[in-house]
DNA sequence: ACAAAGATCCGT
DNA sequence: CGGATCTTTGTA
């Protein structure tokens, strides 16, 4: 019995956000579309948003109606609308009441967080739900041995001393 | 109540 | 490089 089809469990997301962001690379983002069809693509790019002091994180100014979901238990889905047009998909990490999440910035065939959500038909209806039936992560059948490149996060130049953290991870083939 | 800015993308 | 487009947040 191979690993394909094995959904990743919540424990995977409960650990350190940087580890989760790196370890998500090469795994499959899986979606059951409204018409029942299932689509899968390998995750190629992620970003970590972690802690109370991360000025780039939406949660850096505490709990609000919008950021409350970042304080939820690991494995919760955080989707928000950006620039009035594009959706961004995050998976909440670490323990409850600690604000952290991983932004899915790219999969094979869709580069950029907005394009990922468009490709997977993801919108705010999934916000606050758990990974499971509609959206989940699977292990790849064959383990990837690619390299991981760390770099600065995109679009967070406003974030003071947090802007230069190397919390963006890209899988190099 | 209002204004400003945003974890982006597309076309020029 | 600017425009689209609307929600969230801070400020009054």
Chain C footprint positions (protein CB, under 7 Å): 4-10
Domain count, chain A: 1
**CA-closest candidate to residue A87, choices A95, A78, A96:** A78
Beta-bridge partner residues of A148: A171
The list of chain A residues with pLDDT below 70 reads 1-4
* CA A126/CA A138 separation, integer angstroms: 18
* CA A58/CA A155 separation, integer angstroms: 13
pLDDT digits (tens, 9 = 90+) for A155-164: 999 999 999 9
Rounded CA–C1' distance between A141 and B6, in angstroms: 38
Rounded CA–C1' distance between A111 and C4, in angstroms: 20
CB A72 within 7 Å, strand C: no
* CA A79/CA A82 separation, integer angstroms: 10
Residue range of the domain that includes A108:
10-172
Model pTM score = 0.96
Footprint of strand B on the protein (CB under 7 A): A 47, 49, 56-59, 70, 78, 81-86, 88, 90, 101, 103, 112-116, 153-156, 158
* CA A4/CA A61 separation, integer angstroms: 40
* Helix ranges (DSSP H) in chain A: 11-14, 17-23, 113-119
CATH number, domain with residue A164? 3.10.300.10
User: From residues 4-63 of A, which are strand C contacts by CB within 7 A?
Assistant: 58, 61
How are beta strands A86-92 and A100-107 bridged, if at all?
antiparallel
Q: Does residue A102 lie within any of the structural domains?
A: yes
Q: Which pLDDT score, from 0 to 100, does residue A146 have?
A: 84
Q: Does residue A56 lie within any of the structural domains?
A: yes
Q: Does residue A5 lie within any of the structural domains?
A: no
Q: Does residue A121 lie within any of the structural domains?
A: yes
* CA A59/CA A69 separation, integer angstroms: 9
């Amino acid at each position: 019995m191979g690993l394909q089809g094995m959904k990743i469990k919540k424990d995977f997301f409960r650990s350190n956000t940087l580890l989760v962001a790196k370890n998500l690379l090469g795994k499959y983002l899986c979606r059951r579309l409204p018409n029942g069809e299932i689509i899968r693509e390998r995750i190629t790019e992620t970003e970590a948003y972690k802690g109370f002091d991360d000025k780039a994180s939406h949660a850096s100014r505490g709990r609000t109606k919008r950021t409350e979901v970042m304080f939820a238990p690991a494995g919760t889905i955080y989707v928000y609308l950006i620039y009035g047009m594009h959706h961004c998909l995050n998976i909440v990490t670490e323990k409850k009441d600690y604000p952290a999440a991983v932004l899915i910035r790219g999969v094979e065939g869709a580069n950029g967080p907005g394009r990922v959500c468009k490709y997977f038909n993801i919108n705010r209806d999934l916000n606050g739900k758990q990974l499971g039936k509609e959206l989940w992560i699977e292990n790849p059948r064959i383990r990837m041995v690619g390299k991981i490149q760390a770099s600065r996060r995109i679009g967070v130049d406003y974030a003071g001393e947090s802007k230069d953290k190397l919390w963006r991870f890209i899988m190099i083939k």
